[in-house]
Amino acid sequence: MKATRFLLSGFLAAILLVAYVATGTCSEAVIVDGYNITASVSGTPLKDAYQDYFKMGVGLNGYNVQTDTVNSRAMTEIIKYHFNSATYSNLMKPAYLLDQAGSIRNHNAGIADPAVRFDSAIRGLEFCKNNGIQMRGHVLVWHNQTPDWFFRAGYTDNGKYVDRETMLARLESYIRQVLEFTQREYPGVIYAWDVVNEAVENTWGAYEVQSGFNIRTRYSGSTENPWYKVIGVDYVEKAFEFARKYAGPDVKLFYNDYNTFQPTKTQSIYKLASHLKAKGLIDGIGMQGYMDLNYPGIGGGRDSFKTALAKFAELGLEIHITELSITTNGSSEELFRRQAERYEDVFRVLTELDTAGGGPANITSVTVFGLMDNYLFYDNDTTTTRLFDGRLQPKPAFYSVLGVGEGLQAGAR
């Protein structure tokens, strides 16, 4: 077959991609939507390099259906090649699934349940279903990106805040509707849910002190956490109770948070997860993994990622790295070299501590929270945290991550 250096489209593109990708060796150019992705769909897939350790996941970016990652054939071909897990960074959050107009109609008709719609997430769910990729559900309960009207009488913008029992009923209904829909329409696709996101705080004055869990009372300075305001400190436990009630037997329930490597936060999350585990409500902890070129410490040093990972491993729960992003604050060769070293250090720690490598941590999924720098659906995006650049070419960070996995595979032979 002659080398193709023109824009492929439709059925022809699909046939050529199957021919190239199925072999694992792309000896001729693979061009999709103007992107030459040959180097990005060649060699060992990341998911194969780490198959004995954990799923390799990727974030599906986008703030509406038009900017959804799965709209790009070039990006989806790379995702299909390298990843077996995906997470929506936005489009499955309550702000997207809750339907205010429908909820008001329900209320006026004497129906207490909120209305839920799934059009923002259908494309991603279909993509995963059709390509044998599983999905992390993100997220059921979060103080941010949950509309204020959800907590108010009549689901109106200016209604009074409802009482605790009304809000608990709304919470249960929302979780039930989301889990029942995804499990009925997409069985086996969503293998884990972030049930509650970022409920633990370590900024003085922004958390309660009675529970011992440091549950967030405020965020962004003075904004009240509506879940704490309306339900109280046990909103986290209640969310997990409802999720456990409706989740299928193969769906794992996670608590997810950022800065999990800060010792005070590590300890509070550990206490909360231990409490939930004792009640049979939680299966794992999600460590988000936002880092830069100097912070946190990886194998040691200040706020050590390795130390926190080992601490959570003591609980015997699954561990997911859910939103791994290492920023550079620039795009020079030197910065990308340092970024690659940081990614390599992270994956060496993960595989060293994972049970597959003889360690104590049951790490079952690692997700880089986006595929490409300079995201093609955002104007003037300056993101530099990803494994692929703005032309969808592998960066040094990609090769460092792949190299760790290939080294493990070679050592096992």
Catalytic residues: 198, 323
Q: Which H or E run includes 36? A: strand 35-36
Q: Which residues contact 136 (CB under 8 A, 6 or more apart)?
A: 57, 85, 86, 87, 190, 191, 192, 193, 194, 254, 320, 322, 365, 367
Contact 58, 64 (CB under 8 A): no
The packing angle between helices 73-82 and 122-131, to 10°, is 50
Residues 6+ apart with CB under 8 A from 85: 55, 56, 57, 58, 133, 134, 135, 136, 191, 365, 367
- Phi-psi region for residue 392, left (φ > 0), alpha (ψ -120 to 50) or beta? left
| Residue 175 in tokens | 């979780």
Residue 142 near residue 192 (C-beta atoms within 8 A):
no
CA of residue 286 relative to chain centroid, distance = 9
**Whole-angstrom Cα distance, residue 56 to residue 150?**
34
Q: What is the DSSP code string of 337-384?
A: HHHHHHHHHHHHHHHHHBGGGT-SBEEEEEEES-SBSS-TTSTT----
Q: Contact, 122 vs 182, CB < 8 A?
A: no
